[in-house]
């Protein structure tokens, strides 16, 4: 399948730093894509280039097979920025209508779609309220509706769940899955790793303006696995260090072991069976994305960026 | 283009539906017209009567002082500062024993303070009486004097401007000054009010972070120009409403005047201001005043003044509001920053206003010329000059040059501000000064 979005050697330098420094990756149609990175890694700059707010200094953006042309392609994109904004004094219905029309919908179309979404997310009574009357979570929901209203092919959500209670977060999560199923592609920018593991098909990790990780969640976990297995047994005391594996920790009925260089998981199992250990369960422990994230970001020696002279 | 139109509509409709806008739009003309008619009414009916006791040891002005229906001079016996009010006088005037050739002070004491106009009038009357007295002593007869006085009251200066050939038009410097001053002041006020309105609007979008949402749908320049045009349309609406309301209310106000007064005014209009003694003995003072006001106002070239006003209001507004928008886009949450960044924009407006005040009295100095060419001050200053007439005070080429410079000027400020705006509107947490803003404007931004 052709990628919906393809970034090729994108660069954007500011006066004091290389915000985005030669980043390339592809996003497949209909996938949920996670763009990860610590604060100040260059995520927002990258997203602003994809939404046409900034032009890249170098490199190409290919959207749907063609070079990205902001003034035309804007209607294909829905962007929900990290810092949400609304006109506080404007009525919610009018505001949604206005923003939808700016995306190119006709007034009738926009009204119909807003009504559909408001009904779906139980917001029908909000129409004549003002944004200043809404709680943070409520305005978040409104912002989500405004972002997806014009049925964009590419939906970009920057931290979509911040400020939402679990019920509403689930509501939005289901909508995201639904949109992806219907063929929209979703770019999801966050640093909440548990959500990424749950939602995303494919992730890219950026730090200091560079891409440091690219792949599906499973691939990455395989890539960063440390050959750790958990053995569940009722005789934990009889398991001891030996040439095949090293014990990391014991927890209740579980023993966590790391397989030593040159051995494999079957050899561990063989050793345990030979020792007459009764095994209840035997599992590989894959690293969480959180662990991988922290490990990678820390090895690049900067959690916050220093300013560079260019 | 379609999107700019949406932005203009939003900016316009949210502001026009605002309660404060409606209040100002409807109250202001009511106040103005009410004030006008109220003061006219008070001055015609509320004249106070002053009965002044005069102590004149020389008997110098007794024969020649003139009474009017407002001021009555009486020369009673046995009067002094202690008993004049008991004897029914409002004031007492004490003349010194004075030598005819030297200046002398006279003293007026009152229980009720006296207005400046009345004081001047009394002082004039006394001087005239003394003058008459002296002339009589020099051998001129009373009836000769009376006829001279009568004749001198008929002379009135009427200035005409020559329009080439035999055509000439009555001109009125006082009216020109008034129009120049009023339109200069109005443009001054609206530049500041609507300019800051644009700035606040931009700041609002930036601080509540909707700018990023909108800029992902429209270009920053479209957002900025939509806002400027929308708010400008609000300004024009307000002016149009004011003109309609003021003319409407004035004619209603005229209808409320007493019937005989209206009749006098209309017969004055028919006779072109000359009081032929046909039927009506004499027009009252207030009818004369109303007629004169109408007549004077009619001498101005209103279509020219109004179209120039609209042009210079719009031109000046576009010129300055773009700069205000640029300031709004770089300000962070702190309104203090806005204050200091606004200063370089408000200064030229205030200076122009000061220059306008000078130009209303003297429309053809070099200062007036240059200030009416430079786009920073031309919206105010040129209005003050145009009021004196085109082409008599301002030639056509001057007007054309000034207008083209203003158009060029606002195109430039819009371009400049557009560059600053697109960088500033998404930049948070950085304190910006004019130097950085200029740098943004002139370095290539992609």
- The answer to whether B178 and B356 have CB atoms below 8 angstroms apart is no
Rounded to an integer, what distance in angstroms lies between the CA atom of residue A82 and that of residue A157? Answer: 8
B158 or A128, which is more confident? A128
**Residues forming CATH 3.30.70 domain(s) in chain A:** 226-285
Taking the CA of residue B430 and the nearest CA in chain A, the distance in Å comes to 13
Residue in B344, B408, B350 with CA at minimum distance from that of residue B381 = B350
Rounded to an integer, what distance in angstroms lies between the CA atom of residue B160 and that of residue B178? Answer: 18
Query: Are B209 and A81 in contact (CB < 8 Å)?
Result: yes
Distances (CA, A) of B338 to B193, B221, B343, B348, B433: 15, 21, 9, 17, 10
Query: Are B216 and A86 in contact (CB < 8 Å)?
Result: no
Q: Which residue has the tokens 């999801």?
A: A188
Length in residues, chain A: 310
Query: Are A85 and B446 in contact (CB < 8 Å)?
Result: no
- Whether B315 shows a pLDDT value over 90: the answer reads yes
- Whether B392 shows a pLDDT value over 70: the answer reads yes
Rounded to an integer, what distance in angstroms lies between the CA atom of residue B218 and that of residue B209? Answer: 15
Query: Which residue among B208, B214, B215 sits closest to A88, beta carbon to beta carbon?
Result: B208
CATH number listed for the domain at residues B50-134: 3.40.190.10
Query: Are B210 and A87 in contact (CB < 8 Å)?
Result: yes
Residue in B75, B69, B114 with CA at minimum distance from that of residue B94 = B75
pLDDT of B1: 63
Q: What is the mean pLDDT of residues A159-183?
A: 87
The secondary element (H helix, E strand) that includes residue A212 is: strand A210-216
Question: What would the pLDDT profile of A219-251 be if each residue is shown by its tens digit?
Answer: 888 888 888 888 888 877 888 888 888 888 888
Rounded to an integer, what distance in angstroms lies between the CA atom of residue B445 and that of residue B221? Answer: 13
Which of the listed ranges B130-144, B174-188, B226-240 does the model predict with the highest average pLDDT? B226-240
Rounded to an integer, what distance in angstroms lies between the CA atom of residue B438 and that of residue B417? Answer: 9
A105-119, B124-138, B139-153: range with lowest mean pLDDT: B139-153
Q: Which residue has the tokens 């494999």?
A: A264
How does residue B194 score in pLDDT terms, banded at 50, 70 and 90? Answer: very high
Q: Would you call A67 exposed, middle or buried from its count of C-beta atoms within 10 A (0-12, 13-18, 19+)? A: exposed
- The answer to whether B369 and B358 have CB atoms below 8 angstroms apart is no
Taking the CA of residue B319 and the nearest CA in chain A, the distance in Å comes to 26
Residue A94's Cα: distance from chain center in Å? 31
Say which residues have a Cβ less than 8 Å from residue B387's Cβ, sequence separation at least 6: B175, B176, B177, B178, B179, B180, B183, B300, B305, B360, B363
Rounded to an integer, what distance in angstroms lies between the CA atom of residue B341 and that of residue B338? Answer: 5
For domain A226-285, which architecture applies?
2-Layer Sandwich (3.30)
DSSP reduced 3-state for B181:
helix
pLDDT of B272: 65
A138-142, B131-135, B136-140, B274-278: range with lowest mean pLDDT: B274-278
Quote the mean pLDDT of chain A.
85
Structure tokens at A34: 């996670």
Whether complex ipTM tops 0.85: no
Distances (CA, A) of B211 to A30, A80, A100, B205, B444: 29, 12, 15, 5, 22
pLDDT of B446: 46
DSSP reduced 3-state for A55:
coil
**Residues forming CATH 3.40.50.300 domain(s) in chain A:** 3-222
- Whether A207 shows a pLDDT value over 70: the answer reads yes
Query: Are A52 and B216 in contact (CB < 8 Å)?
Result: yes
What are the phi and psi torsion angles at B115 (to 5°)? Answer: -70, 160
Per CB-CB distance under 8 Å, the chain A contacts of B7 are 102
Contact status of A74 with chain B (Cβ, < 8 Å): yes
pLDDT of B276: 47
Contact status of A83 with chain B (Cβ, < 8 Å): yes
Length in residues, chain B: 446
Q: What is the mean pLDDT of residues B179-201?
A: 90
- Whether B409 shows a pLDDT value over 90: the answer reads yes
Question: What would the pLDDT profile of B10-25 be if each residue is shown by its tens digit?
Answer: 999 989 988 888 898 8
Q: Which residue has the tokens 């199923």?
A: A181
What are the phi and psi torsion angles at A226 (to 5°)? Answer: -115, 25
pTM for the whole structure:
0.76
Question: What would the pLDDT profile of B90-119 be if each residue is shown by its tens digit?
Answer: 888 887 776 666 667 778 888 777 777 778
Rounded to an integer, what distance in angstroms lies between the CA atom of residue B60 and that of residue B130? Answer: 7
Question: What would the pLDDT profile of B77-86 be if each residue is shown by its tens digit?
Answer: 777 778 888 8
How does residue B278 score in pLDDT terms, banded at 50, 70 and 90? Answer: very low
Which of B216, B419, B424, B435 to mutate against chain A (most A CBs within 10 Å)?
A: B216
pLDDT of B352: 93
For chain B, give the percent of residues with pLDDT over 70.
86
Domain locations in chain B as residue ranges:
50-134, 173-442
A3-222 adopts what CATH topology?
A: Rossmann fold (3.40.50)
Residue in B224, B215, B283, B54 with CA at minimum distance from that of residue A48 = B215
B153 or A44, which is more confident? A44
Question: What would the pLDDT profile of B320-342 be if each residue is shown by its tens digit?
Answer: 999 999 999 988 777 787 888 88
pLDDT of A39: 78
pLDDT of A1: 64
B407 or A270, which is more confident? B407
A83-92, A109-118, B377-386: range with lowest mean pLDDT: A83-92
Structure tokens at B230: 């929308």
- Whether B314 shows a pLDDT value over 90: the answer reads yes
pLDDT of B279: 42
Contact status of B431 with chain A (Cβ, < 8 Å): no
- Whether B311 shows a pLDDT value over 50: the answer reads yes
Distances (CA, A) of B96 to B54, B55, B102, B105: 11, 9, 12, 7
Q: What is the mean pLDDT of residues B147-171?
A: 61
């Amino acid at each position: 399948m052709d990628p919906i979005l393809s970034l090729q050697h994108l660069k954007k330098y500011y006066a004091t730093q290389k915000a985005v420094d030669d980043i390339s990756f592809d996003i497949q149609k209909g996938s949920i894509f996670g763009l990860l990175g610590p604060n100040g890694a260059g995520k927002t700059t990258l997203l602003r280039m994809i939404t046409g707010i900034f032009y890249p200094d170098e490199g190409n953006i290919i959207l749907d097979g063609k070079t990205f042309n902001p003034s035309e392609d804007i209607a294909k994109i829905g962007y929900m920025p990290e810092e949400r904004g609304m006109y506080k004094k404007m009525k919610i219905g009018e505001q949604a209508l206005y923003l939808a029309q700016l995306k190119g919908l006709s007034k009738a179309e926009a009204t119909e779609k807003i009504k559909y979404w408001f009904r779906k997310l139980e917001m029908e009574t909000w129409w004549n309220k003002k944004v200043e009357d809404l709680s943070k979570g409520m305005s978040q929901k409104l912002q989500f509706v405004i972002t997806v209203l014009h049925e964009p092919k590419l939906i970009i959500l920057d931290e979509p769940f911040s400020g939402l209670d679990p019920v509403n977060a689930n509501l939005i999560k289901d909508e995201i899955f639904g949109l992806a199923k219907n063929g929209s592609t979703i770019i999801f920018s966050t640093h909440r790793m548990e959500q990424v593991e749950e939602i995303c098909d494919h992730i890219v990790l950026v730090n200091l303006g560079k891409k440091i990780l690219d792949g599906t969640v499973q691939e990455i976990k395989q890539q960063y696995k440390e050959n750790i297995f958990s053995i569940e047994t009722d005789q934990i005391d009889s398991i001891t260090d030996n040439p095949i594996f090293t014990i990391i920790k014991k927890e209740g009925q579980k023993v966590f072991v790391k397989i030593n260089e040159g051995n494999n998981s079957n050899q561990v199992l063989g050793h345990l069976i030979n020792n007459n250990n009764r095994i209840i369960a035997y599992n590989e422990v894959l690293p969480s994305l959180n662990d991988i994230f922290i490990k990678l970001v820390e090895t690049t020696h900067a959690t916050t960026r220093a300013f560079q002279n260019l | 283009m379609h999107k700019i139109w949406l932005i203009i509509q939003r900016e316009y409709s949210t502001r026009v539906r605002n309660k404060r806008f409606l209040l100002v739009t409807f109250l202001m003309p009511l106040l103005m017209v009410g004030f006008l008619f109220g003061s006219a009414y008070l001055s015609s009916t509320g004249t106070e009567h002053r009965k002044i006791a005069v102590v004149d040891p020389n008997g110098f002005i007794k024969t020649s002082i003139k009474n009017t229906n407002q001021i009555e001079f009486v020369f009673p016996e046995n009067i002094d500062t202690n008993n004049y009010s008991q004897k029914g006088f409002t004031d007492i005037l004490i003349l010194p024993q004075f030598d005819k050739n030297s200046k002398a002070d006279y003293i007026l004491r009152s229980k009720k303070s006296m207005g400046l106009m009345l004081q001047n009038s009394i002082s004039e009357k006394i001087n005239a009486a003394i003058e008459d007295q002296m002339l009589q002593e020099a051998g001129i007869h009373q009836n000769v004097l009376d006829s001279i006085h009568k004749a001198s009251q008929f002379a009135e200066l009427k200035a005409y401007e020559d329009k080439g050939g035999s055509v000439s038009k009555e001109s009125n410097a006082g009216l020109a000054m008034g129009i120049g001053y009023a339109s200069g002041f109005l443009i001054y006020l609206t530049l500041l009010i609507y300019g800051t309105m644009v700035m606040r609007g931009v700041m609002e979008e930036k601080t509540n972070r909707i700018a990023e949402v909108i800029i992902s749908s429209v270009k920053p320049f479209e957002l900025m120009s939509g806002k400027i045009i929308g708010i400008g349309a609000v300004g024009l609406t307000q002016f149009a409403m004011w003109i309609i309301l003021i003319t409407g209310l004035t004619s209603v106000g005229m209808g409320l005047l007493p019937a005989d007064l209206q009749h006098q005014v209309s017969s004055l209009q028919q006779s072109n201001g000359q009081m032929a003694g046909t039927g009506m003995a004499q027009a009252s003072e207030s009818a004369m005043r109303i007629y004169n006001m109408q007549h004077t106002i009619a001498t101005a070239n209103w279509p020219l003044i109004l179209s120039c006003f609209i042009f210079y209001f719009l031109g000046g507004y576009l010129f300055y509001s773009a700069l205000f928008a640029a300031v709004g886009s770089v300000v962070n949450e702190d309104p203090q920053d806005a204050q200091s960044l606004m200063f370089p924009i408000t200064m030229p407006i205030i200076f122009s206003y000061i220059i306008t005040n000078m130009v209303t009295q003297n429309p053809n100095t070099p200062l007036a010329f240059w200030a009416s060419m430079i786009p920073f001050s031309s919206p105010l200053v040129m209005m003050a000059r145009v009021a004196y007439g085109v082409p008599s005070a301002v030639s056509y080429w001057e007007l054309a040059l000034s207008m083209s410079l203003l158009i060029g000027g606002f195109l430039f400020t819009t371009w400049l501000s557009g560059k600053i705006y697109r960088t500033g509107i998404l930049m948070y947490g950085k304190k910006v000064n004019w130097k950085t803003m200029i740098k943004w404007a002139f370095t290539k931004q992609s």
